[in-house]
Structure 1
Amino acid sequence: MLDPTAVNHLPMPTPVFRFAPSPNGELHLGHALSAILNHDLARAAGGRFLVRIEDVDAARARPAFVAGILADLDWLGLAYERPPRFQSDHVADYRAAIDRLAAMGLVYPSFASRADVAEAVAAAERAVGRPAPRDPDGAPLHPGLDRDLDPTDAARRVAAGEPHALRLRMAEAAALAGPLAWDEAGAGPAGETGTVTADPLAWGDVVLARKDAPASYHLAVVVDDAAEGVTDVVRGRDLFHATAVHRLLQTLLGLPAPRYRHHGLVLGPDGRKLSKSLKSEGLAALRAAGATPADIRARLGLV
């Protein structure tokens, strides 16, 4: 069993904060809240403020959105260390991390399509007459398709170029890592704070990489945070439960554990969190309408 305490208390003399947007849309008020909090906390602690562009999903990333993100941060007056880190420059780092996990016997290729997974979940629900188990985000847990494929057959299919995802054998990974927790300076959805027990099993066999994305969010974020020496992760409360997966991967890979602070979300008129997919009003549009950086801070309660 790995010892998670070995990575929980490494010395972190210089606080390092980061803002890590994905360039698949415009920044909105929710992003502004996270960026400003990270910037201000870094300055108050005499630390560093970094920007990371999470563009590892090349199919969705757009150069125009990168330019827009950086322009918005400059307009908000948030000084960050340049140049920003681009995930697309570090694919080899993610591959190396996956190789380490694979060497532990914790990775398997899953050739099932999303339609295959949905069909298997629906069949299982019909068989037992109740909904399948869900992860903390409400999605059905992966039903384990291809988990027990013959390794020789799986390797042959991978070598032949058959589309697949790489998944983590969660039960084995959690058993190897042992009990996990993290230091929470903010609060979770139910008010969790302080030392929070991590439950990675709640997520099932998470994806580590796909053909169109060489690293999942879970994998890339822990590799990037360690590479940049991030000591404090400040992000939205919607990612609170995902921290369990991040603590698991940090422990398995021997990476340091940052302190975490999850903040409340900015909600739209319909009560849902702001989202690029919902085309929430962007900072650029607010700026064009005459808003100032001070107005943005006021709207976010950061005066």
Structure 2
Amino acid sequence: MSLNDSARAHIERALPALLSRSADEIARGIDAPGHSPFRDDILGLGYEGRFSAFYAPFDWINDEADVVIVGVTPGRRQAKDALLALRSAAVRGASVEEAAAAAKSTASFAGMRDLGARLMDHLGLHQVFGLRSTADLFTSAASRVHSTSVLRYPVLKDGSNFAGDRRIMSRPLMRRMVEENLVPELARVRNAWIVPFGINALLVLEDLAARGLINSDRLLGGVLHPSGQQWNRYNVQLGITTGAAVQDVPGGAEVLRRSELLRDRVSQIVGLRPAA
């Protein structure tokens, strides 16, 4: 459980700006609809066309994890939570490592954990992990999980949260973030199961697997991203919408196909284990 030198440097550069501002000032700076000197200059990491990236403390890595959950990129809510948690820990006198761990655990997939666990459980991933429920990964089994994103730091499109698309690896800014941050991050948990949330994260991980940068045998793709904005598709994955009605859901047939492939993969993995 640690930080590398680059991550430590990011945090040490951000802390003075955080400590010199109130929690409200930080929140307003992250949420600003137009250009924000705090978000886009002080914390800014770069621009590319309609896209911009800024720093938030998602650097801490649980080297002991045997499950990695991967989203697309943190949103502004998660960024605020992480920055404020980092600030609060620093005010309490925590070390850089302790502050980074607090920021990461506070903000990772905040607001999405219940639905994420429900989707993973329905597809049987709790059986692969040997858990009563994947909800335990966010509570009693938190020491077993590492949460991250293919784009570790928040990326905005036209100033709004970026939900991802199929062109992440074709954009130099985003490809660099994947290769400089995600690839070495996953190398530190090489034997962990990797669960991407959503098709856009899955496509990036499939690209890395095809190039031999991650172990494709440990990739468990097919879970929808639990952002809470596509309930017609969640109902397909959860088996609530079935039969011909699936065809009436945009992308429903593909959701069903990927769900069935993942469920079959889970059955194969669990079936290969010796009986207790």
TM-score normalised over the length of structure 2: 0.29
More RCO (CA 8 Å, sep 6+):
1
* Structure index of larger Rg: 1
TM-score normalised over the length of structure 1: 0.27
